[in-house]
Structure 1
Amino acid sequence: MKEDFLHYVWRFRKFDHLDLQTSSNESVSVIHPGEYLQLAGPDFFNAQLVIGTQKWAGNIEIHIKSSDWYLHQHEKDPAYENVILHVVWEHDAEIFRSDNTTIPVLEIKRYISKETLSNYKSLMSPKSWIYCERQLTSIDFFTLGNWLERLFFERLENKSHTIISLLQQKENDWEAVLFCLMAKNFGLNTNGEAFLKIALRIPFSIIRKENFESLNMEALLFGQSGLLDVEKEDQYFKQLRKQFDYLSYKYQLEKAAVEPLQFFKHRPDNFPTIRLSQLASLYSGKQNLFSEIINGDAAGKLYEILKVPASSYWQTHYQFDRESPKKAKSVSVAFADLIIINTILPIRFAFAKSLGKEISEDSMDLLKQIPAEKNAVIEKFSKFGIKANNAFESQALLQLKSAYCNHGKCLDCAIGNLLLKS
């Protein structure tokens, strides 16, 4: 038995509430179960009850055992002084307020139906991946569609928090925030944090001044990445380092310790050298990339903006000092999809939100034009009966797995709720 099940039972009144009695045989009538805010303090706020003949307004605390009150040291916390009912699965100890009055206890297991308990045990049965994996195909289209839409916007909201934090660091400069997010996502999962640190170490005012020259852009990015902190015979390497030394002196750039960029397990086209060069190319000669991104409504327009090549040196190299067969190495459509999903859509959403504008439909429509992501999570959902048809659906499923399934929050999930009622 878990507390979240008891929270669910109390919140949605999934118990026989007609003949409730406390452990001291006083009748209980639930006028309002309270607000489930999931904040510090009692589990439900501002409940309204009638206990015996007395009407009460206050908070509800829920535990598996009554004695958990003392285990969690609630008797020392003033926030629990206003608890009017202690709802428990098993009553094993009397609980007292600081004035020595007894807190009424409701042992709720006597009022939960066998059917509800059976459904709960079935939902929380042993799993190979997620709890409801064997029952996913029974979920109706309407419930699933509404839940995926909510998950999608929940994911966007979460991403917007990072953007707002960056916006504060960058003094409300949306162009600077876009540069940081672009850098992070050009680095992918492996090098994303390192790329973000590179971007944060370069004031965007310098990017604005130097992006007319692609060599300067590459010198800044490669120099701050630590890739120029070695000795090599390669002439382009020497040119980049000379230019970076000049720019560092010109702008008094701080040289901070950097984490090594990862090449291992990457396909050559995803090497950090190639991605840094493409990022430099994306910003070379562009003064208003943010405006282009915000106003590029269709996916086709965004692909056009993002389809940039690595510089000429990297057409014949993946690493310094190692020549390779010539290849253009432009940003692929698949990589552009990742940038649209993880950078462009979140920043457009956050920007619209800052202006008080509603772009929900536009956001969904954009991602419905983009194929679903291919990864282990999406493949697993497909195996168990839920196939993502586009990026809108794959993003929602990723949110479902990371925010709900991974934490066993089945009772906060629309799918889990439906299965519990079945």
Structure 2
Amino acid sequence: MREDFLHFVWRLRRFRLTELKTTTGQVIEIVHPGQHNHHAGPDFLDARIRIDGTLWAGNVEMHLRSSEWHAHKHQDDPNYNNVILHVVLEEDVIIRHTDGERIPCLDLRNYLPVGLAKQYLRLLNSEQWISCQQQLYTVPEITFNLWLDRLLVERLEERTEELAKRLDRNGGDWEETFYQSLAWGFGLKVNADPFLMLAESLPLKTLLRHKNSLPQIEALLFGQADLLEEDFTDDYPRQLQQEYRFLKQKYQLQPLSANHWKFMRMRPANFPSVRIAQWATLLFRTGQLFSKMLVAQNLREMENAFVVELSNYWQTHFRFDKASKKTTKTLGKASIHLLVINIIAPFIFLYGKKRGADIYQERALRLMEAVPAERNHILAEWKALGVNIKQAGQSQALLQLKNSYCNEKRCLDCAIGCSILKRNPDVMEEDVLYLPTWWLASAAEATSKEA
């Protein structure tokens, strides 16, 4: 058992409300439970509680054991001076305000329905892939779908936090920030960080000074990537090498180390050399990438913007000086869709949030719904449970659900978990719950770790 269970039953008043009394016998009437506080301070703010006929306005604090008040140092925090009721599962010590007055205490053990508590304990102690695996089918479809919609927004908001920090570091320059973020996406999982470092070492405005020359853009990118320091035999890399030496001096550039790049155990089409060549061609075709994404009317227009045809040299090479069978090496739709999911949609969402323009946030959500769902082991597990996943909005929401809620046992913060608990047929039975000593001990231990 965790403290969030108390928050749940108090917030929704899922306990017997008749004949409520404090541990000293005072009659309690809950006029208003207060507003759930997710920040520092008491658990519920601005509550209205009538105790022995006197209406009190203030805050409510909750613990599994009353002694946790001292364990959490609330006696030293002035934010707790206005606590009018202490809600616990066991009053093992008497708690007083700093002036010595005893804080009224409600022991919920005498009022909790057996069915609700047992259902919660089953969820909390489940060893299955998700706690509600056996009850998932009982959740109404509209509840499930609305929760996924909310989780998609939550995931986009989390994604934009780092983007917003990078935007601030770049002085509010959207194009520069998008260029760096898209570079990270271009590197895929293995070379994402080196790609970001490459973009940060070579400002977009420097590249745009050479927007009419693909060889110069490639020279800058490959040179900064430290991939032009060999004794080449092919004419093209030697040309880039010579070009970069001049540009390096001109712009006082400091290249990365070639050791950052990973080629091992990768498909040749995803070699960093090929991805950098694709990146260079994209920048050569469209310097102001973010502006183009903002005006794109649909997913197809975005896909078309990333269709790049590499130069003749790269059609017959995966690496410098190593000829191969001729291939076009265009970005596949799957790679473009990953960029849309991980970079473009979150960026458009952030733009709308910063500008106060809901149209862009809505466009980002619609964009996610237009992209096919990704494939990975987590989504495969959801499908095995019978969840139909058609588009990326759903798949991203399900990833958020698994990683941020199921793995953390946040059933009471989840609309699915709450739905299961609310629909429990035994939830309002009048029997009270017997809480064994071992259960309270384990609950206190879990709470101390969380604190």
Q: Normalising to structure 2: TM-score of the pair?
A: 0.88
Distance in 2 of aligned mates of 1:265 and 1:79? 56
1:327 positional shift = 1.4
2:329 is matched with 329
For 1:243-282, what aligned pairs fall within 5 Å after superposition? Answer: 243-255=243-255, 260-282=260-282
1:11 is matched with 11
Distance in 1 of aligned mates of 2:413 and 2:406? 10
Distance in 2 of aligned mates of 1:187 and 1:55? 62
Distance in 1 of aligned mates of 2:2 and 2:188? 38
User: Which amino acid letter does the alignment assign opposite residue 109 of structure 1?
Assistant: R
1:152 is matched with 152
Contact 1:127 1:133 in 2 (8 A): no
Identity %: 38
* 405-414 or 319-328, which deviates more: 319-328
User: Which amino acid letter does the alignment assign opposite residue 303 of structure 1?
Assistant: E
1:363 is matched with 364
1:27 is matched with 27
Kindly indicate whether structure 1 or structure 2 has the higher relative contact order, using CA contacts under 8 Å at least 6 residues apart: 2
Secondary structure at 1:210 match in 2: coil
User: Which amino acid letter does the alignment assign opposite residue 313 of structure 1?
Assistant: Y
Distance in 2 of aligned mates of 1:210 and 1:98? 70
2:241 is matched with 241
Consecutive unaligned residues of structure 2, counting only runs of 5 or more, are 424-451
Secondary structure at 1:248 match in 2: helix
Distance in 2 of aligned mates of 1:62 and 1:259? 54
2:291 is matched with 291
1:360-400, CA deviations, whole angstroms, 9 ceiling, x for partnerless residues? 54333333322111111111111112121111211111121
1:234 positional shift = 5.4
**Using a 3 Å threshold, how does the CA distance of structure 1 residues 97 and 227 change in structure 2: closer, same or farther?**
farther
Distance in 2 of aligned mates of 1:28 and 1:368? 50
User: Which amino acid letter does the alignment assign opposite residue 67 of structure 1?
Assistant: S
Contact 2:224 2:253 in 1 (8 A): no
* 77-86 or 174-183, which deviates more: 77-86
Secondary structure at 2:106 match in 1: strand
* 315-324 or 164-173, which deviates more: 315-324
Consecutive unaligned residues of structure 1, counting only runs of 5 or more, are none
1:260-287, CA deviations, whole angstroms, 9 ceiling, x for partnerless residues? 1223343222222222221111111423
User: Which amino acid letter does the alignment assign opposite residue 88 of structure 1?
Assistant: V
1:131 is matched with 131
1:257 positional shift = 6.3
2:41 is matched with 41
Secondary structure at 1:121 match in 2: helix
User: Which amino acid letter does the alignment assign opposite residue 14 of structure 2?
Assistant: K
Contact 1:160 1:350 in 2 (8 A): yes
2:406 is matched with 405
Contact 1:378 1:387 in 2 (8 A): no
Q: Normalising to structure 1: TM-score of the pair?
A: 0.93
1:380 is matched with 381
Distance in 1 of aligned mates of 2:301 and 2:199? 25
* 214-223 or 225-234, which deviates more: 225-234
Distance in 2 of aligned mates of 1:82 and 1:138? 42
1:92 is matched with 92
**Using a 3 Å threshold, how does the CA distance of structure 1 residues 236 and 407 change in structure 2: closer, same or farther?**
farther
1:89 positional shift = 1.5
1:320 positional shift = 3.2
1:243 positional shift = 2.7
Contact 2:225 2:255 in 1 (8 A): no
Does the alignment pair 1:202 with 2:206? no
**Using a 3 Å threshold, how does the CA distance of structure 1 residues 256 and 264 change in structure 2: closer, same or farther?**
closer
* 218-227 or 380-389, which deviates more: 218-227
Distance in 1 of aligned mates of 2:39 and 2:258? 38
Distance in 2 of aligned mates of 1:241 and 1:268? 23
Distance in 2 of aligned mates of 1:244 and 1:4? 60
User: Which amino acid letter does the alignment assign opposite residue 372 of structure 2?
Assistant: P
Does the alignment pair 1:190 with 2:186? no
**Using a 3 Å threshold, how does the CA distance of structure 1 residues 313 and 90 change in structure 2: closer, same or farther?**
farther
**Using a 3 Å threshold, how does the CA distance of structure 1 residues 100 and 368 change in structure 2: closer, same or farther?**
same
1:259 positional shift = 6.7
Secondary structure at 1:396 match in 2: helix
1:161 positional shift = 2.0
User: Which amino acid letter does the alignment assign opposite residue 377 of structure 2?
Assistant: A
Contact 2:217 2:284 in 1 (8 A): yes
Does the alignment pair 1:107 with 2:107? yes
1:37 positional shift = 2.8
**Using a 3 Å threshold, how does the CA distance of structure 1 residues 410 and 311 change in structure 2: closer, same or farther?**
farther
2:430 is matched with none
Secondary structure at 1:50 match in 2: strand
1:229 positional shift = 5.3
Secondary structure at 1:280 match in 2: helix
* 387-396 or 125-134, which deviates more: 125-134
**Using a 3 Å threshold, how does the CA distance of structure 1 residues 109 and 258 change in structure 2: closer, same or farther?**
farther
Distance in 2 of aligned mates of 1:224 and 1:29? 70
* 329-338 or 103-112, which deviates more: 103-112
**Using a 3 Å threshold, how does the CA distance of structure 1 residues 65 and 338 change in structure 2: closer, same or farther?**
same
User: Which amino acid letter does the alignment assign opposite residue 20 of structure 1?
Assistant: L
1:233 positional shift = 5.2
Distance in 2 of aligned mates of 1:255 and 1:334? 31
**Using a 3 Å threshold, how does the CA distance of structure 1 residues 226 and 411 change in structure 2: closer, same or farther?**
farther
1:197 positional shift = 2.1
Distance in 2 of aligned mates of 1:136 and 1:151? 17
1:395 is matched with 396
1:210-259, CA deviations, whole angstroms, 9 ceiling, x for partnerless residues? 23222222233333334345665555444333333322221122446687
For 1:63-74, what aligned pairs fall within 5 Å after superposition? Answer: 63-74=63-74
User: Which amino acid letter does the alignment assign opposite residue 413 of structure 2?
Assistant: D
User: Which amino acid letter does the alignment assign opposite residue 422 of structure 2?
Assistant: K
User: Which amino acid letter does the alignment assign opposite residue 28 of structure 2?
Assistant: V
Distance in 2 of aligned mates of 1:291 and 1:6? 49
**Using a 3 Å threshold, how does the CA distance of structure 1 residues 224 and 64 change in structure 2: closer, same or farther?**
farther
Over the aligned positions, Cα root-mean-square deviation in angstroms equals 2.1
Q: Count residues in correspondence.
A: 422
